[in-house]
Amino acid sequence: MNPLLINRRHFFGRVGLGATALSALLSEESSANDGLPGLPHFAPKAKRVIYLFQSGAPSQLDLFDHKPQLAERHGADLPDSIRQGQRLTGMTATQDHFPIAPSKFRFAQHGRGGAWLSELLPHTARVADELCFIRTMHTEAINHDPAITFFQTGAQLAGRPSIGSWLSYGLGSANHDLPAFVALLSNGTGNPNDQPLYDRLWSSGFLPTTHQGIKFRAGGDPVLFLSNPAGLDATARRRMLDDLAKLNGMQLAEFGDPEIATRISQYELAYRMQASVPELTDVSKEPAAAFDLYGPEARKPGTFAANCLLARRLAERGVRFIQLFHRGWDQHTKLPVQLPGQCRDTDQPSAALITDLKQRGLLDDTLVVWGGEFGRTVYCQGRLTKDDYGRDHHPRCFTIWLAGGGIRRGMTFGETDDFSYNVVRDPVDVHDLHATLLHCLGIDHTKLTFKFQGRHHRLTDVFGNVVKPILA
């Protein structure tokens, strides 16, 4: 062998340490597949998460954060004392004025907790007593890509593991015939040309790649290359995988590279998924009442409604982290026209998911999250008219909701100012949210770590506090 091609692992294998290293790596890989020793750290309230991520940033002012006094200020400039020199995006930085745009949609209180909800969310209103609204989410990012990345990974720069990967690494899978982490995508009708979403959002980053999310597709094979190619039957594929495992095993014994062990395990998972995934995605046996519950688009693969129904089926089968990404919430212009479409896409299916999980006894140990990457400004982007307005990005305060395992029901947490521009009481940042989600799953966020490049990393970095008032 050319000595210039010998790497560190190969060297240790040659000098007699290979067997020890290989044993440790295989032990680590086995442990990773089944979760880490000692986890959960304490009794969990939730066993799994369904995260309904609304990409593009829903307007809290038009959906959740009712500010009726703004009607008297229509068209007036946002006071400098409120804006406090906040940074602006390139879309509004050149505006001479920042005219206040009150919501044109009616609001009403719902449930025993009296949650304020827009008329655009009638189905969500019916399950308001199951939800916990956080009005005071805030984030560091002001543009979509870093903000979305921040919510998935706890960092604005790409390359860190996503939250689903951290859970797969820490808690393992409850169903070895399905991935621990599944991503589902849908495109909204409000703004169909909204920003794209990238596969790195469900990446495992520096964690072993066995923990990365698996994207399910709406057409063809739900997972790429799941079907056997023409001329290859199941028996031949099993023989091929056995032979391939032997070859990979030889390479693993020689080099001790944990990614080779990951490759072996992923081939085996793919083989098992050939039976489990078609059964999972075949909704033909779902009763008509289920489709009626989730809405008219529930029978159309790739819609948010169909994905919500699929999320319930994934939850039933023990998938640890299920993330739905729904695009189209970026209403810089024509908000009164575009926002109703987005709500038609998502309102009934989101509420149906809560109802369905509760009816099946799954809501108590399933944590559901609904929200985007930031909020929208109270001032209008572009020209304000009586009937039309748009809103720019606003990271300083916005609303999300949670429901299910470990979360108090029927409450609203936090308070914003009269312009839904600044947090007045009980701020919650992205790291706090992550710490709270992990807490509901029985994980101390400060103790779920992975050593990479000489440093012990965690989802919450060196930040994060559990939001205890919202815990059940």
Domain at 445, CATH number:
3.40.720
What is the rounded CA–CA span in Å between residue 435 and residue 429? 10
268 domain residue, yes or no: no
Token readout for 211 is 């923990």
For residue 427, the enclosing domain spans 39-220+286-470
Token readout for 343 is 């709500």
- According to DSSP, the β-strands at 321-327 and 181-187 are parallel
Cross-strand pairs, 21: none
Number of H helices and E strands in the chain, helices first, is 13, 17
236 domain residue, yes or no: no
How many domains does the chain divide into?
A: 1
291 domain residue, yes or no: yes
293 domain residue, yes or no: yes
What is the rounded CA–CA span in Å between residue 284 and residue 297? 14
Angle 299-304-306 from CA coordinates, rounded to 5°: 25
What pLDDT score was predicted for residue 33?
52
294 domain residue, yes or no: yes
Question: Exposure pattern of 173-193 as b/e (b: 16+ CB <10 Å)?
Answer: bebbbbbbbbbbbbbbbbbee
Token readout for 191 is 């703004």
Q: Are 21 and 12 in contact (CB under 8 A)?
A: yes
User: Of all residues in the chain, what percent carry a pLDDT higher than 70?
Assistant: 93
Preceding omega of 40 cis (within 30 degrees of 0):
yes
Question: Exposure pattern of 200-230 as b/e (b: 16+ CB <10 Å)?
Answer: bbbbbbebbbbbbbbbbebeeebbeeeeeee
396 domain residue, yes or no: yes
What pLDDT score was predicted for residue 27?
46
264 domain residue, yes or no: no
342 domain residue, yes or no: yes
Q: Are 328 and 187 in contact (CB under 8 A)?
A: yes
Which parts of the chain have pLDDT scores under 70?
Answer: 1-33
Q: What is the pTM of this model?
A: 0.90
What is the rounded CA–CA span in Å between residue 214 and residue 165? 10
Q: For residue range 451-471, what is the model confidence (pLDDT) as tens digits?
A: 999 999 999 999 999 999 999
What pLDDT score was predicted for residue 6?
52
Cross-strand pairs, 85: none
Alpha-carbon dihedral 439, 444, 446, 452, rounded to 10 degrees: -100
- According to DSSP, the β-strands at 450-452 and 455-457 are antiparallel
